[in-house]
Amino acid sequence: MSASNEGSRMNGSGSSTPGGVTRVNLVKDLRLEWRSKDAINSMTFFSLLVVVVFSFSFDPTAEESRQIAGGLIWVAFLFAAVVALNQTWAREIRNQVLDAYRVSPAPANSLFLAKALGNFIFVAVLEALMTPLFVIFYRMRAIGPVWQLGLVAVLGTWALVVNGTFFSAISLRTRSREVMLPLLLFPISIPALLAMVQATTGILNGEQSRFWIVLLVTYDLVFTTGCLLLFETVLNAE
Amino acid sequence: MKKLFPILGVITAILLGYALYEALVVAPTEQTMGDVQRIFYYHVPSAWTAFILFFVNFVASVVYLAKRRPVADMVALVTAEVGVVFCTVVLVTGPIWARPVWGIWWTWDVRLTSTLVLWLIYVSYLFLRRFSSSGQTPLLASALAVLGALCVPFVYLSIRFFRTQHPQPVIGGGGSLDPRMLHVLLINWLAFSCFAFMVCWSRYRLEKLQREVDEAEAMASLMAPRGSVR
């Protein structure tokens, strides 16, 4: 109901172009999230739990935590991202929004990009909230250049959400879809995850991590292209 | 075509028997590892067969995405299933060989880890096919297969670099293979490929029949008078 109002209101401002469709969908998702705060609350609490549980189970010293923090932080974000990714398409099933989208002439990739960008923003907010906690709990101090951590975070988060958005659209069509998403997403994310963890650990320890950043960039490019090429097929497969 | 199947079966049986004889009796005993090395003749051909099957799966998935022929989808399904079986054989025979030779069951070496990740990707593919509730499972599955195949070079590269950064005991070494061993290896590979082809074929026929039965049942329930549907 509000979506149709939104649509008619935005029509005048170029929402019929692919970029416009992306913007309208992204704004809608952000507004929904802003009002409900479902994804961000559950993700934050979930990753907080992971931080606390890991901290108890390993009880690391400052030197040890520098070695393991890269792994911990990304595993926590990966698990938390799954929470948001699972909700991303499920909410479009109610009221047959996805069916309506399918019959509309709007390009499928615009919707995909909007969803991926939305998830990227959610996970980035989560990371911004959780990173200070990690620093405090694990007494972290980077030896290498800190700005590279930001680069790794952006590239790594995109790698997770672009595949995650795609696979959650696939797992929408399965029984027990909440379980299915990690089963599909984790194996394919292994190289990206390895690259994020190694780059983070490398930067924290002041080692060279250029290879991993290049690998992440390539991974992002290849999989973004792949997902964009295949998404229309997946959206229309019912 | 149906008559060819028993012939292929006999040829495969003969080949497998001959390959077993070659591997256990004819092949020379390895100098340092001893008889345990003979597992090599099962381990390596299984790996090659599995990789070929996964490659066929990728090609069939691309063909399905382009042409939407059910045959391509069935080939993709069958090769993924049989490929996972052969890959499992690789992952099981590997540690059995490693334990007496290296003293450890497992090491996070490039090949071992890449094979394991490959296995994980294709198991998730089979999970998707099993759990999908959509009528368009083949499309979803082929999309996953294409992305999975795209992932393979990344897996190999990343793990390779990961391991070269942290040196491990050198495994296997770059030594050359005795020509007699190579001969036995190739015979075993031929036998395994024939066997894999046979299993794929029979699984393909099963899948085809299953689909025909499903279709017939769907038709029957459509044609049945109201109220008498099971």
Set of chain B residues whose Cβ sits within 8 Å of the Cβ of A174: 128, 131-134
A62 reaches B (C-beta below 8 A): no
Does B131 touch chain A if contact means CB atoms closer than 8 Å?
yes
Residue B111 token pair = 């090949």
Residue B170 clears pLDDT 70, i.e. is over it: no
CA distance B161 to A207: 14
Of A80, A172, B112, which Cα lies nearest the Cα of B120?
Answer: B112
In angstroms, the CA B192 to CA A200 distance is: 44
Mean model confidence pLDDT for chain A: 85
**Cβ-Cβ contacts under 8 Å for A165 (sequence gap 6 or more):** A85, A88, A112, A115, A116, A119, A227
A237/B120 touch (CB, cutoff 8 Å), yes or no? no
Task: Check B144 against A218: CB less than 8 A apart.
Answer: no
> Which of B124, B133, B143 lies closest to A233 in CB terms?
B143
Work out the minimum CA distance from A234 to partner chain B, whole angstroms. 6
pLDDT given at position A139: 75
Chain A residues 130-189 within an 8 A CB cutoff of chain B: 163, 166-167, 170, 173-176, 180, 183-184, 186-188
Helices and strands: H and E segment counts in chain B: 6, 0
- pLDDT of B169 above 50: no
Phi, psi (5° rounding) for residue B93? Answer: -70, -30
Radius of gyration over every alpha carbon of chain B, rounded to an integer in angstroms: 21
Say if residues A92 and A174 touch (Cβ distance below 8 Å).
no
Domain count across chain A: 1
Nearest to A175 among B131, B147, B165 (CB): B131
Q: What is the pLDDT of residue A204?
A: 84
Range of the domain at A52: 2-236
Q: Which of B188, B210, B213, B215 is nearest to B78 (CA)?
A: B210
Average pLDDT, chain B: 86
How many other C-beta atoms can be found within 10 angstroms of the C-beta atom of residue B3? 6
Which SS3 state, helix, strand or coil, does residue A149 take?
Answer: helix
Q: Which tokens is A62 given?
A: 């400052």
Q: Closest to B148 (Cβ–Cβ): which among A173, A188, A198?
A: A188
Interface confidence, given as ipTM, is 0.82
Place of tokens 């507004």: A31
Determine, for residues B121 and A187 on separate chains, whether the beta-carbon distance falls below 8 Å. Answer: yes
More confident residue, B164 or B56: B56
The beta-carbon neighbor of A219 closest among B136, B144, B154 is B154
DSSP H helices, chain A, are: 2-11, 18-36, 38-58, 62-93, 97-103, 108-137, 147-171, 177-204, 210-236
Q: What percent of chain B has pLDDT over 90?
A: 46
Instruction: Work out the pLDDT band at A214, boundaries 50, 70, 90.
Output: very high
Establish how many alpha carbons lie within 13 A of residue A182's alpha carbon, considering only the half-sphere containing its beta carbon.
10
Res A4: pLDDT: 45
* Two tokens, residue B44: 């390596």
- Picking from A9-23, A41-55, A110-124, B114-128, which range would have the lowest pLDDT averaged per residue? A9-23
Which pTM does this prediction carry? 0.85
Q: What is the pLDDT of residues A131-144, one digit of tens each?
A: 888 888 877 777 77
Q: Which of the given ranges, A212-226, B25-39, B94-108, has the highest pLDDT on average? A: A212-226
Residue A6 pLDDT grade (very low, low, confident, very high; cuts 50, 70, 90): very low
Residue B55 has a pLDDT of: 94
Indicate whether B128 pLDDT > 50: yes
